Chain A
Amino acid sequence: MTRRLSRETLIKWAPLLVLLALVIFFTALNPTFFSLRNFARIAIASAPALMVAVGVTFIIVMGSIDLSMEGTISLTAVAFAFIFAQFGGSLGGMGWIAIPLVLVLGGAIGLLNGIVHVKLRIPSFMASLAMGFVGTGAAILLTGGDIVKVSDAAFRGLLTVRWLGFPLMVYIAAFFLFVAWFIQTHTTLGRNFYAVGGGEDLAHASGLNVTRVRVTGFALAGVFYAIAAILVVARIGQAESVTGSNFMFVSITSVVVGGVALWGGIGGVWNALVGVLIVGVIDNGMVVIGLPDFVQDGVLGLLVIVAVVLSTDRKMVSFVK
């Protein structure tokens, strides 16, 4: 019994150990890696990715998958930039209205995503992928391929104003991480995600409205994608139809590396945080230690496999598909 417990404990903490090992590794090769300014740089790059990863964590915990993030982020980022400009283009004025509106838009896209998945009985993989394409298409339609700039100094303060060495956007991301943690552990909805992911038939037989839980989960994920979109705009000061590019790979990789099982029911938002930091540290560290660019992609792939091997408990899984 104690041996079994210690193995579980080890696997539970493995992602964090991987993260610490990586930090020690990169620091040993280049001590400047271990500095507050570099950690702030990693945090800036990771903040939007963290919001996406947290959103998709809820879906993966349910045993589904959501691939709509790229389209949703592009569309909500572009919508944010346009609405922000429409209301005066200043956070000091009426521009703040864009923020709640865009969060609602993100939620609506997620809701639609969930309804398509559940009501039309299309696998979440396909439904969300298709919805992502629709989002990207809508973003192209809105922008006509152009870049929309957001240069309001107050809004850009999310990037330029620092507190204890970290920009404000990092604290915003941390705040919503806590919100996600609260939803996960202190609400019925959060517990229901695990019930559905752990055994959908059982949850259904126990009288749980699985359909509603799924649809709500996708809507919630959509809200988090919208938060990510706003943070991206804060980070680079512009929105365009490719703003969401690359977030699918980064977020799914992070969530899995962080120890959330793709078969559902295992892991949570802290795993998403550790996973995002692992990917962020690898991305930054490879440049900082001067790894040639042509081996970086290969090394990233290898480290992902190693991290998954170490941080997920595959002994209890009867088959892997």
Chain B
Amino acid sequence: MSTFIKDFIERETVSRRNFLLATAAGLGAVAAPGLLGRGAAHAALTDPAIAWSYRDRASAYWNSVIAGGEAFVESLGKPKSALVSLINEGSTEKSLADIKAFLAKNNGNCAIACDANDSPNARPVVEAVQAAGAYISTIWNKTDDLHPWDFGDNYVSHMTWSDEQPAEQTARILFEAMGGEGGVVHLGGIAANNPAVERLNGLKNALKDFPNIELLDAQPADWDTQKGAALMASFLTRYGDKIKGVHCANDNIAYGVIEALRAEGIEDMPIVAYDGNPEAVQMVMDGQLLATVFTNPHWGGGISAALAYHAAIGSFKPSEEPKEHREFYGPSILVTAKDAAEFKAKYLDSVPVYDWKDFWGPSNGQIQYKA
């Protein structure tokens, strides 16, 4: 028994010592490129390693983002595998740790595109990248007080999408299809998500111009098809024939709504959605949906990697660009019955070949912050 305890204590001591040594080595690895990288930041990098840091592989959206990133690295004459995927699985800690590991492995010779998973995480990520002398472009998540121009050249750009305006447009299309009167229900995303808030606000903006349209109810369906179906069924019990139109926060919810209505034998309800997924575009063509909105994740994924890469190799100097080239909105394309076929041919049947040096062509103006 005593030898067991002795062994145990010995093992624990050794492992603690190893742990301390490993920690010191790890910190050194992060700090070293930072010291060297300071000088290197002013000179351009040569052949930087390219990475995309994002949430997961289980959604059409992120798959499309990464396909865009791969299209960009292929345009450089590299294989798809030259784009390193840093998958954070929804963990902010993993997002930051992966990026630090990638910086350390490549001595700061990196061009990174990133969605920081949550807004506060963008700052430590950008600071780590700057300290290592690498270059980064971000999308979606950052706090309002974090700006690329405060970090010299290393924080190349930030892109996000404003959903309020497009959601208002889909609402107008919906109301016109309803003949300008009757009740409408909104099935939203996860209540605290920014896009969910903006998409509901868009609907409310449109309501101001349609006094005879009544918003009967707006409840979250958590971006989910099955919740969308169950919520729509409950709405039918509560409001019955008063529902003359349905405004959905994304395509997935709309699929559920259509199925809930199908179960009741209702085929001709006006419905609008958001995201422009291939299935939804097909439904617009078939007349099951009135409209959806495409945010071109393929272009967003490619151009974010391209911006970081070209800033890194010195094709352009971010600090000499105007602010609308550092913080800008991504494209939103409204897809309706009359242009769905053309849209499908152009964007979905064959992915367009983009000029990855036309950094700001399809973008949508400088990001505006609400006071």
A167 to B238, CA, bound (A): 20
A167 to B233, CA, bound (A): 14
Chain A residues with a Cβ closer than 8 Å to the other chain, count = 37
Say whether A44 faces chain B, with CB atoms less than 8 Å apart: yes
- Contacts of B240 on A, CB cut-off 8 Å? 32
A140 to B60, CA, bound (A): 11
B220 near A293: Cβ-Cβ < 8 Å: yes
Partner of A235, one of B62, B229, B234, B279: B229
Write the B205-226 contact mask toward A (1 if CB under 8 angstroms, else 0): 0000000000001011000111
B63 near A236: Cβ-Cβ < 8 Å: no
Say whether B359 faces chain A, with CB atoms less than 8 Å apart: no
A38 to B263, CA, bound (A): 12
Interface with A: B131-139, B254-262, B312-320, which one? B254-262
A145 near B237: Cβ-Cβ < 8 Å: no
Shortest CB distance B64–A (Å): 9
A246 near B263: Cβ-Cβ < 8 Å: no
Partner of B237, one of A147, A160, A242, A284: A284
B226 near A145: Cβ-Cβ < 8 Å: no
A159 near B226: Cβ-Cβ < 8 Å: no
Say whether B173 faces chain A, with CB atoms less than 8 Å apart: no
Write the A232-245 contact mask toward B (1 if CB under 8 angstroms, else 0): 10011110011101
A6 to B225, CA, bound (A): 45
Partner of B59, one of A145, A284, A287: A145
B238 near A237: Cβ-Cβ < 8 Å: no
- Contacts of B237 on A, CB cut-off 8 Å? 32-33, 35, 37-38, 41, 284, 287-288
Write the A120-160 contact mask toward B (1 if CB under 8 angstroms, else 0): 00000000000000001000100011110100000010011
B234 near A145: Cβ-Cβ < 8 Å: no
- Contacts of B255 on A, CB cut-off 8 Å? 147, 236-238
Please name the residue on chain B nearest to A26 by beta carbon.
B237
Say whether B57 faces chain A, with CB atoms less than 8 Å apart: yes
- Contacts of A243 on B, CB cut-off 8 Å? 226
Say whether A200 faces chain B, with CB atoms less than 8 Å apart: no
**A32-65, CB < 8 A from B:** 32-33, 35, 37-38, 41, 44-45
The 9 A-B pairs at the shortest CB distance, nearest first, are namely: A287-B234, A41-B233, A38-B237, A293-B219, A45-B230, A145-B63, A288-B238, A140-B58, A241-B58
Interface set of B (CB-CB < 8 Å, partner A): 57-60, 62-63, 191, 217, 219-220, 224-227, 229-231, 233-238, 240, 255-256, 259-260, 262-265, 277, 279
Interface set of A (CB-CB < 8 Å, partner B): 30, 32-33, 35, 37-38, 41, 44-45, 136, 140, 144-147, 149, 156, 159-160, 167, 232, 235-238, 241-243, 245-246, 283-284, 287-288, 290, 293-294
